[in-house]
Structure 1
């Protein structure tokens, strides 16, 4: 398998994962916003509160953040300071990008590993307001960081940050 063939297959897998992550982020933000509006309505209009009104938005917020991280890497949308790196030549820039990607890969891999352990350890504990496992917090961290590893792996393979030329089709 050639490098370009490998990258086209890899990109196809990433596109599927990114599309799923985008839907999860969108759905979790919609649910979070709706429940928060309901919580405000119940608290200030009906003078009562929803028992699950704090747990659902918390889960949705964490899931949206954890799944948005790899999307930020995909579109090179994370905040970065390039004041020094912009002065480097192409070879030095590529080295800095690769070193940064390697460090992110190691960190994200360690986080995903420990999140998997915590998911298993906390799966039998339920949240106070809803019958949902506390492990779903760690599951989102595990999945999001594993997805991040896939994006950072692509950067390591190519030596380039994603840009507008990264195939979108």
Structure 2
């Protein structure tokens, strides 16, 4: 994305402060969850490899837990990518628009993206609810835990896109996020 189509950060004051605080709190929580997911995944895989090759033994649930952490880490990281503009955008046409039309188009696309993510969140929540009684093959936990991160990603990503649609800013003020850390 080149500098002409990037959003500029906006100070989070006034009536949008509660939304900015909500998004910043979500970002901090997801950031810490992402660290925990990756630590658990790496630790479980390392222990599993050591047990297999050093002791000719293994943990039954290690692969499933590592896969669950991987799925969660991917879907919890997506909204953080949206926040920083690290998503794919096709700009062949939009870069030829005047500045005010580029801004309006970016806001409309953000709003449509938010609506789609909310639909994904809703449908994922429905699917998780329907599958909650199905257990994983090697762990006494619901298989729906593989679907829940889609709902989390949908809501969190939609909040970022709603922020972009309303303010034209790509993310909330970094100082506000630092207050919550």
TM-score normalised by the chain length of structure 1: 0.89
TM-score normalised by the chain length of structure 2: 0.83
Moved more, 3-12 or 137-146: 3-12
- 1:168 aligned onto 2:174: yes
Partner residue in 1 for 2:108: 99
Q: Displacement of 1:78 after TM fit?
A: 2.1
Secondary structure of 1:128's counterpart equals: coil
1:74, 1:162 within 8 Å by CA — same for their partners in 2?
yes
1:100-150 deviations in Å (ceiling 9; x for gaps): 212211211111111010111111111111111111121111112111111
Unaligned runs of 5+ in 2: 1-11, 176-181
Q: Displacement of 1:19 after TM fit?
A: 0.3
- 1:12 aligned onto 2:21: yes
1:57-113 deviations in Å (ceiling 9; x for gaps): 111111111111111111222233445433332112112212221221121111111
Query: Of 35, 45, 64, which residue of structure 1 is paired with 2:44?
Result: 35
Secondary structure of 1:123's counterpart equals: coil
1:76, 1:161 within 8 Å by CA — same for their partners in 2?
no
Q: Distance in 1 between matches of 2:37 and 2:89?
A: 27
Query: Of 51, 58, 66, which residue of structure 2 is paired with 1:57?
Result: 66
Partner residue in 1 for 2:35: 26
Q: Distance in 1 between matches of 2:94 and 2:35?
A: 34
Q: Distance in 2 between matches of 1:43 and 1:148?
A: 39
Give the ranges of 4+ consecutive aligned residues of structure 1 lying more than 4 Å apart after TM superposition. none
Query: Of 115, 128, 144, which residue of structure 1 is paired with 2:153?
Result: 144
- Root-mean-square deviation (CA, aligned residues, Å) is 1.7
Query: Of 117, 137, 140, which residue of structure 2 is paired with 1:108?
Result: 117
